[in-house]
Amino acid sequence: MKSFTRRSLLARALGAALLCAGIPALAADAWPAKPITLIVPFAPGGTTDIIARAVGQKLGEALKQPVIIDNRPGAGGNIGAAAAVRAPADGYTFFLATVAHTMAPGIYKNLTYDFGKDLDPVGLVALTPNVLIVNPSVPANTVPELIAYIKKNPGKVNYGSAGTGSTEHMSGELFRALTGTEITHVPYKGGAPMMTDLMAGQIQMAIETSPSANPHIRAGKVKALAVTTQKRSSAYPGVPTLDEAGVKGYDVTTWFALMAPHNTPPAIEQRVHAELMKVLKMPDVEKRFQEQGVSAGDTTPAQLASFIRTETAKWSKVAKESNITSE
């Protein structure tokens, strides 16, 4: 009787310890038992949303549970990030982070979360260049012509972004700093509404991510003048890099990473990472990415964590040198 009682007490103590650690017994074996939410920090129709839906659908099929896209736009992606941090770490909420979340610490004074600590890296999903695009009414077909036009009209050329602190915003500020031009930032709540205004001529230019810009470039609704990476994009073989076009040292890559609330059971994170790597190698996903100028990610969670630290340091320096701050 004493032995039975002792074993019962030990079993209860072990169960309590697992629960306190945020790892319910057999949680990974039973998971997923219901739909999974993927928080997307920008509006529907933008690049982050496009990638989330493409990858989310395939992950759902692999995990045999729907992956529901939950768009939480605003504050350059920080509203969505804060929502993901507050979510239960039970494996039923994930977050699609972007390079903007490594820009935020150097810009925002009152962030309610710590990107490097409050979210666990699961896997790098995709990387893509940004594209310098202008409304067809802008009398410039090359980067030097655009710079000359801006200098003749200082402060009158507006560039759009998906919000303060977004990759489009920081890409524009880097362009302004390296070219010595005066351009006015107009923030939106996502890439899609920004593109609508750019095509309508409400703003004149943007440095937008490739998947969001690509269909409008192909349709002739905007003009592509340059890409932001050091190498040309296969999606725009005839379009030079900004560095080639005379903006020396310009090099920006937008990336997207799958994250989980901190303390999500490691076994679940490992399972999702493994399934994500399989999804990114699927021929139809590879084809869709290639058409849009996107490269699939291929890192371990540890490598992603190191990459995030490097990117945070890089963009904090840019924000400080450009004097970009926000409440």
Give the CATH number, domain containing residue 292: 3.40.190.150
Q: E-assigned strands of 5-78?
A: 36-40, 67-71
Structure-token match 């972004």, residue found: 161
Same domain, 222 and 258: no
Same domain, 158 and 89: no
Same domain, 137 and 212: yes
Same domain, 290 and 312: yes
- Report how far residue 256's alpha carbon sits from residue 52's, in angstroms, rounded to the nearest whole number: 9
- Report how far residue 50's alpha carbon sits from residue 105's, in angstroms, rounded to the nearest whole number: 25
Orientation of helix 47-63 relative to helix 191-200, angle to 10°: 140
- Report how far residue 113's alpha carbon sits from residue 77's, in angstroms, rounded to the nearest whole number: 12
Same domain, 142 and 186: yes
Residue after which a domain boundary falls, among 211, 227, 243: 227
Same domain, 122 and 265: yes
Same domain, 198 and 269: no
Closest C-alpha among 222, 276, 272 to residue 92 = 272
Q: Is 16 inside any structural domain?
A: no
Same domain, 45 and 68: yes
Residue after which a domain boundary falls, among 180, 209, 227: 227
Q: How many domains does the chain have?
A: 2
Same domain, 150 and 293: no
Q: Is 207 inside any structural domain?
A: yes
| Residue 218's CATH number | 3.40.190.10
Rounded to 5°, the CA angle 72-78-84 comes to 60
For residue range 189-222, list pLDDT tens digits in order: 888 899 999 999 999 999 998 888 999 999 999 9
Same domain, 139 and 203: yes
pLDDT tens over the chain, length 327 residues:
444 344 444 444 444 444 444 444 445 678 999 999 999 998 898 889 989 999 999 999 999 999 999 999 988 889 999 999 999 999 999 999 999 999 999 998 889 999 999 999 999 999 999 999 999 999 999 999 999 999 999 989 999 998 887 889 899 989 999 999 999 999 998 888 999 999 999 999 999 988 889 999 999 999 999 999 999 998 898 999 999 999 999 999 999 999 999 999 999 999 999 999 999 999 999 998 988 789 999 999 999 999 999 999 988 988 888 788 876
Q: Is 21 inside any structural domain?
A: no
Cβ density class 194-230: b for 16+ within 10 Å, e for less: bbebbbeeebbbbbbbbbbbbebbeeebbbbbbbbbe
Cβ density class 85-104: b for 16+ within 10 Å, e for less: bebebbbbbbbbbbbbbbbb
C-alpha count within 13 angstroms, C-beta hemisphere, residue 269? 22
Q: Is 284 inside any structural domain?
A: yes
CA-to-CA separations, 229 to 224, 270, 277, in angstroms, rounded = 14, 31, 24
Q: What is the predicted pLDDT for the residue at 247?
A: 97
Strand partners, 108: 326
Its domain, for residue 262, covers: 34-127+254-322
Element (H, E) at 217: helix 210-218
Q: Is 14 inside any structural domain?
A: no
Q: Is 23 inside any structural domain?
A: no
Same domain, 178 and 96: no
- Report how far residue 82's alpha carbon sits from residue 100's, in angstroms, rounded to the nearest whole number: 14
